[in-house]
Structure 1
Amino acid sequence: MTTASATPRHSHEQHSQAPGYAVHKADHLARLNKIEGQIRGVSRMVTDDRYCIDVLTQISAASRALQEVALGLLDDHVRGCVTNAARTDPAQAEEKFEELTDTLRRALRL
């Protein structure tokens, strides 16, 4: 079942400017590639019947790494997209603030 809150209301296609993370894109991609390797490692651990706690420890590390990427993207969004909208277009700024609140609500499961 799909809900409206599960589908982002806004996308880069709707905006002509570069995404807020453009400056840090290479850093984000490097971290995501590292996380991808961690996930492959977890899969190998399960394949190799490694000890449960060791697998869970690696899953926890990968989850934290993903959360760090998410926080970096959020920071870029606030410093770029939201700040730019607040400086240039009050209506768009209000839209960005609502979008940010919705995103945080989903992330925090409120």
Structure 2
Amino acid sequence: MGVVVSMRARQTEILNHPSGGGFLPHCGWNSAVDSIANGVPMIAWPLNAEQGMNAALLAEDIGGAIRSKLLPWKEVMGREEIETMIRNIIEDKGDARRGRVRAH
């Protein structure tokens, strides 16, 4: 069942919930730190400013995030690409990423 949040959501509490399988942040530093602190793997979706650099750090150095081969601010991403990233987080690759996120 879907939930509509009509006011600001408490991101840290949501990420700390045991049923969370992944997180799709724009890769601002606060979201990245919240996700790392709670051991939640990410689908990096940078849009501007330092977010691209943060996404590269999260995906390539830490290994706790995946990124699309397409740049979200330059191209419209198809549902197949989004589905692939979600499946990578939820299925077998999610546990390995979760471990790498928790290690940091």
TM-score (norm 1): 0.29
Q: Which has the higher contact order (CA 8 A, sep 6+)?
A: 1
More helix by share: 1
TM-score (norm 2): 0.30
More strand by share: 2
Structure with the greater alpha carbon radius of gyration: 1
